[in-house]
Structure 1
């Protein structure tokens, strides 16, 4: 061993520069440094006896800087400087140093990039002239900047700006899915593993033949298959050495991908894709400075693509919901924070994301947490275990900045990851198998919620005496068990924020569970989230905020006091992003407002006031009395209409309906007169010559499209007045963007207009025409057409080709592209002088304007009648007493059997219909029936609340219910109740109402009918008047027939294709 190292005890006690070690030596050779474990164990050849003056190292295989001290006179000229650099450059290179420092220790310091031999430049492009002082913070900061910026491709310091690998993630998602068809979860898992490999290489934790760069170099001498095998056999083992598995559950941060099997073998057939993805990472560059948003959005980018759900029915929680809940919390040092169904760890990691340096410190390569995070999840096979593995990988990404500053602490970070996330594998109960009491200060979770399978869990609980005593509230569903676990696991005074479905908030069978929660906790808030808040379900959900009550001594007895503070309730319609797979940001964010108000409320619950109509402060007795925590039902219909949540019910009396019909008739008659004038006014007809759109003397196709998908266009979308509209297959503008570099928009003006139309899609190819009079962009699903003769009017061309889809059969397979549209024929008017007749074209356009106006009026009229217009007979000429009677005093409600599916019908085929949500046709036919007779029935799912009368022998499934007259009473006319109840039921239905009646998915369960009252004509004795019902039902049928006939006739006018050309 070197005498210098021994005498100065440099091996055990080197001078520390942050996490780095500074060895001020000069008499110790590279061979001696190697034996001392200060530099890596390799053959240094002819340089073995070289004696560097000083080294800065991270670990035995990572040299940050090689330092050479010279006297001032040895650096007095450029020639001497060059000699000094060349003397030590080889040493710096063989050590793999990031920088060579040549200094006189006072006035002059030369900073050199060993990879290129060039001087390092500052951010302005000048030679770096900063001094070198190992004990100064400025030197440490500069060296870190050099490590971040200087490499084989750059000699210049660059500003430290965060990188956002999300575009890279999207590209790789497409690559992986295209070749493998893997689930989004597996695509994400694969991306994260390669990301970790590249990231650890960029940090210098993977060096030499374990590094990303060295693996890329292997493609020069090895086959694609051999490189993938080397990654699987060698590099992945090294990563597992850096981040060892948890001895409790056997999980680490990687464990099998699309490229590597579960037994750590390279998967044949994917080597080319592996190479392609490595190339994408290489082209992207360094991952050291990761953007904050990327850490939060990465998993969402992949998992929002998924419509799958875990065995327990756990749904991926959108980031906007997670962050809003985090904003409602108050995290303090020493807190223990738990998510008992943590998934990929989003709640826990977001809780500390903005202040990681505050909550975690590193001293002597040991991570010291100031808060304790605990995440549990359930899993038995390799696929289920990936959830916890992803959570640990996610934590590494969130902590990347701290790891970058302390790369020598990898082992301690690995211990932190293993201590934070734990896989529960010893029971199908998972977290629920551990009866924890009074342990956590804060619980944040979105527990799984399904009914199927919960019976098996309860059987397991009943087998265990300790668990049987722990779970006493007897809640339904898995979410009920989790809710009871959360209440028990909270410390007194601890808080929980839980995302729960509507079932546990309102089910009768969960009454005891709600009472258990209310007895042990103060209900701080119930926030109603909109349908489709979650990616893969339209489940109605709520955020429930709880504080566990603290026992207080009264008369020598410890008691839990009843709640006296009001409950904060809020009704959200939007969450700040579109509730579809794209999740584009939108302006309305009721959840953010709810968060802000809740934070004000919790500071002074008793005195808090607000005029926000979406907010209510509920007396706890209100929830006790109604025993229904679905708080959106506490807003009246009128309040919901004012908030834009519910459309007003359009009720027309007979007189109003007649007046509406008369107005439609008069409008159409006026247009009819105008049309007759057009037909009688045509006197001159020019010669009509046939040509095609392929006539290059008259027409020019415009095909210079841009290749940007919807996601990218949304990112570029702007409100700038100079923005250029972008069109795709649909008729409406899909984005407004600034002019693209090197890609000018298509020119159009009022003087030089362009007609465009869709080229692709079964329903759109050859349709969706747009007339452009200002610059625009088009996608590859649209093509433009320009007239090259000023006398050939573009509007007239539109009239000639507007029906080309039907005439030529354009669709997804036969696209309306340039090659196919060239054959479309048009008639060109020619005047006696042989010129294209522009005046005749203008007269034709005037005629067509009248036709369009008539058809447009028909559309508007039909829309009015087709909308949810209900006829109100209460103010008609009938002289009946009308009384609002409780529906359930008249009818019993029954919901159908969920076992009656198409599959059941296949196995039990017969002649009796099974009716489901649709009222158009039975779902299937079976060999038995549940009902015989005439019954009023309603759809409980889909277009919920639509009623129909079913007759004969039939059955219904779980998507339909029946109303059965109570005690066989015969004083109820079903047709009357169909017309009367349907508008009431449609108003009660909750869920996604869709656009213009499309894409609706609403629900109306029997429980939701409990408070319904229905107007019924009654006799002097106050009993339902059957004769009056029958008379009113007859009137309803007549009016409904008139309405249907009017709609049908208006549709004929709307749909007929009328030629404005003279015959």
Structure 2
């Protein structure tokens, strides 16, 4: 234990630097820090023995490590580099953003991700002294933390642009004049953005340059300038970046100012000039930082009034980055990576943005990829081409630094764009039309999920013998087909990180799909995302992490990482403001520790949002909706027990669509459950003939005093309205005068009247609970779960209540139906089958109730 932390009361009352906790602790080891809950309680390996001079921490996240040196040890460059190297490994283990080395006169600031010194806005190495009492220190650290990453060691200049305001203005200009859909406004904005961008990069020159075209307004009419753009500039861009000869898509496809026959659209030349002026006034787009590239389309989406369609290919950037971080070990030279429903390509582009030099080499005028990315999309409705066009435009923006340095090989870049993103137009099945097997090292995706209309796809599959043999599971909805494609397309030992809707984890009709996943893959982890994570749907979604088995006979023995996230670090509304609570980032960090020590991680885990589940739970449970595996008490502790959905009035119809589709899919499950080929025969048996009602109860033995004196491990169940709770507590086994039971049914005289409970293991009961113990002669003839449901159905007819209590005398002659075989013997196999159906029907009723509760409990905002 650390005497330093205790003596100075640092474990309870740390010093402060701005909003962060500051620990000046040269005598405390990393192991001590985690034992006191200052940093995460995970395995830091050999670094646990090390000590650091000081830490800046926020909610167990290490912001900076400080190394204090004597002036005599911090004079030369060699000594300073040694000080940095000394702390680099421990800083990486602790996921610290910054290393600060100082002798209190001279200070070095280092980016942990690169090991390089950090520069200020002007490109000079930061030399500000580290003085914890300096009121400007928190602002400096905040700016550094915001700016640095794997690619950047410099504080972002204040003048760096962000597209949000520009996108908003241009969208309003175009929409107000043309009345075009937000989708077409976006495509038009992106095309003109690419025009300005290529001009600023020096790719478009002379008469084709943005500034040259704009200067033409001095001598030409507005119509003539727009015509010049349509007939001269656009063809030039398409020459520099040729279209894919197969799907005919390139990086631009304007839909408002230029017609399909490549002519200027009359009447729009004035708004065209207005838009160009805003681009001109906005300044150069040459120096675009990391976040600018990542958030271009997402920023524009915030202004879109047609969010339902956009949800088909927009995944919030924070979710994309979380999945990329989880998958980062698989993103390496030589890997083949796929997104079969790629939208604008974020899942494929985010992993490479900071590693372009590592993954792409330019040699003798040739662009040589060292990694292969494949993004496929079918598009939707009449605008099939446009998502792929946006993906290619997005890729151009991500590759801007390479393009700027190699403006003469645009066709090489275009070839890469065309090979990376491909439109599938040969069939309504899109990506699903090609039965790919054992091809990809990694698949990262957010496939579409709809149940209505998927029958058309299944009919198309039936026409092709190869596809019939490929899609064998008959899962519900488009998402089910995609799940099967993903698993079959993975190489053995390949990984997949997939965003899936709750239906896949909950629907009884998809139990075969879940079994398929268990048969073909190792289930590595599931993260439950909060409702409204996505722009367009209140549906709960999950991140599913899979590894394809090297062979089907391999058995999973490792446990499964599960995490219940309530927030993703941004508000779950159209504005998407950054918020302090970020469970998603925490889940990603813990998952990385879990991967390194799957069997030992559970012992170290102290995060109540994280549970390490045995794989057997996924085999035995009827659903994989992991947040339901947290008790009500645990949810209350997390503050999510009464999660209320809040929607804008225009979002409410989307909720109704979601609920309607869910209930329709539930109806199909019920129809399957109630279909009976051969109706079983039944005979009636009295309760007293099945159960030994002479079993003695405990009268009023269990008082609070008695239980406090005899605390143990045996639960004492009461007639509580919440029978899963052990209200009375736990007592010792084999107490004199106490009656114990094992693996039997119980019936409450009052409390939760009307319900029978199957109590597994050893337990005891209060005086208000009747044990229903099967007569010894019938032990092998009855399935207890079946008896539970059969008794409940009969008891419902007798209207038991507080004024008509269900004592032994009142229930003993009640008859319940028992299935028998053709010889008149009790048929335990049919009992088990019926019990499973009853159990599932209870779950279905709860699912329907939950769906309807979503509607009734939703708060509507009219503003």
2:750 paired with 1:882: yes
TM-aligned CA deviation for residue 316 of structure 1 = 1.8
* Residue number among 193, 196, 204 corresponding to 1:195 in the alignment: 193
2:67 paired with 1:206: no
TM-aligned CA deviation for residue 998 of structure 1 = 3.2
TM-aligned CA deviation for residue 575 of structure 1 = 0.4
- Count of aligned pairs: 534
The whole-number CA distance in structure 2 between the counterparts of 1:547 and 1:441 is 10
CA deviation string 1:445-477 (max 9, x = no partner): 000000011101011111110001101111110
TM-score (structure 1 length as normaliser): 0.47
Alignment match, 1:222: 220
- The 1:991/1:492 distance shift into structure 2, 3 A limit, reads farther
2:77 paired with 1:250: no
- The 1:477/1:544 distance shift into structure 2, 3 A limit, reads same
Alignment match, 2:450: 450
Cα pair 1:374 1:421 within 8 Å, conserved: yes
TM-aligned CA deviation for residue 992 of structure 1 = 9.4
Larger Rg: 1
TM-aligned CA deviation for residue 265 of structure 1 = 1.8
Alignment match, 1:342: 342
Cα pair 1:313 1:449 within 8 Å, conserved: no
Counterpart secondary structure, 1:472? coil
Alignment match, 1:971: 798
Q: Which runs of 5+ in 1 are unaligned?
A: 1-122, 125-157, 552-558, 650-870, 890-964, 1002-1063
The whole-number CA distance in structure 2 between the counterparts of 1:208 and 1:504 is 55
* Residue number among 599, 604, 626 corresponding to 1:606 in the alignment: 599
Alignment match, 1:367: 367
CA deviation string 1:418-439 (max 9, x = no partner): 0000000010000000000000
Alignment match, 1:323: 321
Cα pair 1:312 1:449 within 8 Å, conserved: no
Alignment match, 2:741: none
Cα pair 2:754 2:800 within 8 Å, conserved: no
Q: Which runs of 5+ in 2 are unaligned?
A: 1-121, 124-155, 645-719, 728-747, 758-791, 805-841
Counterpart secondary structure, 2:266? coil
Cα pair 1:290 1:401 within 8 Å, conserved: no
Alignment match, 2:627: 632
Aligned pairs for 1:73-92 (under 5 A) are none
Cα pair 2:479 2:500 within 8 Å, conserved: yes
Cα pair 1:429 1:457 within 8 Å, conserved: yes
The whole-number CA distance in structure 2 between the counterparts of 1:873 and 1:546 is 36
The whole-number CA distance in structure 2 between the counterparts of 1:567 and 1:873 is 29
Cα pair 1:256 1:263 within 8 Å, conserved: no
Alignment match, 1:183: 181
- The 1:172/1:234 distance shift into structure 2, 3 A limit, reads same
TM-aligned CA deviation for residue 184 of structure 1 = 2.6
TM-aligned CA deviation for residue 251 of structure 1 = 0.5
Alignment match, 1:516: 516
- The 1:509/1:531 distance shift into structure 2, 3 A limit, reads same
TM-aligned CA deviation for residue 288 of structure 1 = 1.3
Alignment match, 1:275: 273
The whole-number CA distance in structure 1 between the counterparts of 2:847 and 2:518 is 33
Alignment match, 1:998: 859
Alignment match, 1:384: 384
* Residue number among 234, 237, 254 corresponding to 2:235 in the alignment: 237
- The 1:381/1:254 distance shift into structure 2, 3 A limit, reads farther
The whole-number CA distance in structure 1 between the counterparts of 2:847 and 2:440 is 45
What is the CA RMSD across the aligned residues, in angstroms?
A: 3.5
- The 1:617/1:973 distance shift into structure 2, 3 A limit, reads same
CA deviation string 1:272-323 (max 9, x = no partner): 1110111111112221111211111111012244464688972521111000
Counterpart secondary structure, 2:498? strand
The whole-number CA distance in structure 2 between the counterparts of 1:976 and 1:885 is 11
TM-aligned CA deviation for residue 583 of structure 1 = 0.3
Cα pair 1:258 1:267 within 8 Å, conserved: yes
Alignment match, 1:144: none
Aligned pairs for 1:263-662 (under 5 A) are 263-306=261-304, 308=306, 314-329=312-327, 330=329, 331-379=331-379, 383-551=383-551, 560-609=553-602, 610-647=605-642
Q: Of the two structures, which has the highest relative contact order with CA contacts closer than 8 Å and spacing of 6 or more?
A: 2
Cα pair 2:203 2:404 within 8 Å, conserved: no
Aligned pairs for 1:93-104 (under 5 A) are none
The whole-number CA distance in structure 2 between the counterparts of 1:217 and 1:646 is 62
Cα pair 1:475 1:513 within 8 Å, conserved: yes
Counterpart secondary structure, 1:451? coil
The whole-number CA distance in structure 1 between the counterparts of 2:861 and 2:387 is 33
Aligned pairs for 1:550-949 (under 5 A) are 550-551=550-551, 560-609=553-602, 610-647=605-642, 881-882=749-750, 884=752
Counterpart secondary structure, 1:573? coil
TM-aligned CA deviation for residue 611 of structure 1 = 0.8
The whole-number CA distance in structure 1 between the counterparts of 2:377 and 2:222 is 37
CA deviation string 1:217-241 (max 9, x = no partner): 2111211111111111111011100
- The 1:536/1:379 distance shift into structure 2, 3 A limit, reads closer
- The 1:967/1:314 distance shift into structure 2, 3 A limit, reads farther
